[in-house]
Amino acid sequence: MSKQSHLFRRGAVYYFRMRVPADLKNRIPQSELRFSLKTRNFALAKVAALGLHTRAYTLFHRIRSSPEMNDKEIVDMILTFFHNESNEDFHLRQMAAIPEMHREEFKEILAERVKSREAVEAEIVENFQNGDFSAVEGDVWQELLMRDRLDLVDEENIIYRKLCHGFLRARREANRRASKEDKLDFNTNFQDPLFDPHRSIEDVVRLFQLSTGVISDGYDDENVAQSRATSVIDTSEQGKGKRSGTKPTVTELFKKWCHFQSVAPKTAADFETQIKRFCDLVGDLPVDKITSDDIIYFRDEVEKLPVRMTHNQRKMGIKELITSLEGRNDIPRLKPHTVKNKSLAAISAVLGFAVRERILSDNVAQRIGVRKPKEHEKEVKGLFFSSDRLQMVLNSPVFSEGFRPLGGAGEAAFWVPLVCMFTGARLTEVCGLEIADIGCEMGIDYFFIRHNKTRNLKSDSTIRKIPIHSKLLEWGFMDYLEAQRRAEQDRVFEKINAVGSSISSAWSAWWSRYLRKKIGILDPRVNFHSFRHTVKRELLDKEVRESMVDAILGHSNGNVSERYGRDEDGLSYSMLRLKPAVEALTYEHVNFSGLCLPKYKKTGRRYK
């Protein structure tokens, strides 16, 4: 097994990757299997990958020869999941009571689970009402992976929908029982008879079949009413008729997609541009009339667009613009990865939504690729700031001489890069900070990255609190904040004004010029976002656990467990846990002694 075919690195951590064989693509809804090996040691990663390689081939063999799963096997999986969910709280209570164990840590975990009881119940109820399974999809996927049955992971698969339905009921019952035990109520009655241990397995299977609409309503039981649910399988002609008739157009479906997906404004604006281009080139067709040839035509035409448009070009229709550029080989055109990640991604997302809504049976855009890029067209990967380059930044006029250029928006030129260097926050997140977003908890000052009236975040998963590094406090950031408060400013950097779709667009353009012309860093792979790469690398090098790095940077790893143990602000880690991690950003090989620190009038009052 070559390391090139199955091992790759993301940051410092090794991952395993293996393509799904062509004959199984209709049974495994993924193009490849990918797992984090959770190690930065190549030798250990190679051993772990070898085991996964063997297991993957075993999985493929079993799927090829595996029969369908019957209802008894489904119920066995559901009951096993219920017992695991119930035992987790029991285990935590036991561990928290043993003096020799890490009692405080277990108590903290248990307390976080107790606080999340109502949120878990609300999410499950919402899933039942909407016919959604998001609360348990990850758990079902994991259980099927353990049983080498990933071929069942498909929203259209009846077995998969049965499992999700049962897992929702199991989590609801386990959560309700745990809520009672939180109040020292150890009553053994079960609200959902599906999990009553006094029933025989045959009885439970029949109850489950009744509740999922598999058998008719002829099975009589005094508790059946409690276990009935809306059928998770709608195969009737009446059900199909609900989705018959005229299909929505691309534009109509896009509006519905925006409403249901609750996408970030910038993403919605970018996708709207691509959908408009599709309609201008192909037409605003009913979605069931779109063919693979339409998608290929759209892809080929969009690739003819320029990388940057002039003011007059933006006013042209897309067909007129493409015609006007014929023979102009001197104008750079959109690269294949841009066409894939923007144009094709937009139409594929909308058609994929149509498949999930049972409007379409197939997403014709999903199978369309782009040509292999030429050498000069390959995507530029961002780099982190090396210690030498960080020193170049700090030796530049803004930081060493107190220079405040007009484009840098006053004090923002000094503070924004330093804040990002010691938080890893995104540029827009820092530029849009408001005074109310700076707080203090447990004696620790912090930035609260959240939606506000100045700007919206990329997604809700990026909401977080980041402790303010001691270096920023030492250099006078809180004095600057107090000066802003005295000036009755609502924003931390009020001189940063939006020109484009982002609050940081004009400031970002200034920084790019400053980085190339004043600082002298010409490598296009190094830009402002490189501060974010730098923070992640620094934290991982200091062996800060990856989940905590994600909490600081506002990354989501997609695990279902992320939803548990959060406080009222939706945050996983306390300030006391995050503060040491942020303080690990020491940059030992960078000299900060040459900083020209700004002076602010001190009032002796502490900012609250």
pLDDT of residue 471: 94
What is the pLDDT at residue 23?
75
Confidence at residue 240, expressed as pLDDT on a 0 to 100 scale = 38
Name the pairing type of β-strands 438-441 and 32-36. Answer: unpaired
DSSP 496-543: ---SSSSTTHHHHHHHHHIIIIII----TT-STTHHHHHHHHHHHHTT
What is the average pLDDT score of the chain? 79
* pLDDT over threshold 70, residue 489: yes
Residues 152-210: tens digit of each pLDDT: 777 767 788 888 888 988 988 888 888 877 777 666 677 788 888 888 888 888 888 77
More confident residue, 305 or 234: 305
Would you state the pLDDT for residue 605?
A: 45
Q: How many helices (H) and strands (E) does the chain have?
A: 27, 6
The pLDDT tens digits of the residues spanning 106-144 come to 566 666 667 777 778 888 887 776 677 878 888 888 888
Write the burial class of residue 559 (CB in 10 Å: 0-12 exposed, 13-18 middle, 19+ buried): exposed
Residue type, 512: S
Confidence check: pLDDT of 551 > 90: no
Laid out side by side, the sheet with 7-10 consists of 7-10, 13-19, 32-36
Number of neighbouring beta carbons within 10 Å of residue 338: 19
Two tokens at 110?
Answer: 């248990």
Tell me the H-state helices in 2-70. Answer: 3-6, 42-65
pLDDT of residue 381: 67
Whole-number pLDDT of residue 102: 52
Contacts (Cβ under 8 Å, ≥6 apart) of 34: 15, 16, 17, 18
* Mean pLDDT across 430-457: 88
Which residues on neighbouring strands pair with residue 9, listed in sequence order? 14
pLDDT of 467 above 80? yes
Considering the chain, what percentage of its residues have pLDDT values greater than 70?
A: 79
Distance of CA 82 to the CA centre of its chain: 27
Q: Is 277 left (phi over 0), alpha (psi -120 to 50) or beta?
A: alpha
Please say if the pLDDT value at position 223 is more than 70: no
Q: How far apart are CA 445 and CA 438, in angstroms?
A: 7
Please state, in angstroms and rounded to a whole number, the distance separating the CA atoms of residues 113 and 122. Answer: 14
For the chain, what percent of residues have pLDDT higher than 90?
A: 18
pLDDT in tens, 254-310: 888 877 766 667 778 888 889 999 999 999 999 889 999 999 999 999 888 888 788
| Residue 469 pLDDT grade (very low, low, confident, very high; cuts 50, 70, 90) | very high
Under 8 Å between Cβ of 576 and 442: yes
Q: How far apart are CA 437 and CA 260, in angstroms?
A: 29
Long-range CB contacts (< 8 A, 24+ apart) of 559-564?
559/138, 560/135, 560/136, 560/137, 560/138, 560/139, 561/138, 562/461, 563/116, 563/119, 563/123, 563/135, 564/112, 564/113, 564/116, 564/120
Task: Output the CA–CA distances (angstroms, integers) from residue 180 to 51, 175, 222, in the order listed.
Answer: 43, 9, 24
pLDDT value of residue 94:
62
- Strand ranges inside 355-463, DSSP E: 438-441, 444-449
Distance (Å, rounded) from C-alpha 590 to C-alpha 599?
A: 23
**Rounded to an integer, what distance in angstroms lies between the CA atom of residue 126 and that of residue 133?**
9
Rounded to whole angstroms, the Cα distance separating 421 from 415 reads 10
Q: Which residue has the higher pLDDT, 155 or 83?
A: 83
Q: Specify the pairing of strand 438-441 against strand 7-10.
A: unpaired
Contacts of 511 (CB under 8 A, 6+ apart): 408, 417, 528
Q: Which residues contact 462 (CB under 8 A, 6 or more apart)?
A: 426, 429, 449, 554
Distances (CA, A) of 529 to 263, 390, 421, 511: 22, 13, 10, 11
Stretch 473-498: mean pLDDT? 89
**Residue 209 exposed, middle or buried by CB count within 10 Å (0-12, 13-18, 19+):** middle
- pLDDT tier, 231 (very low <50, low <70, confident <90, very high otherwise): very low
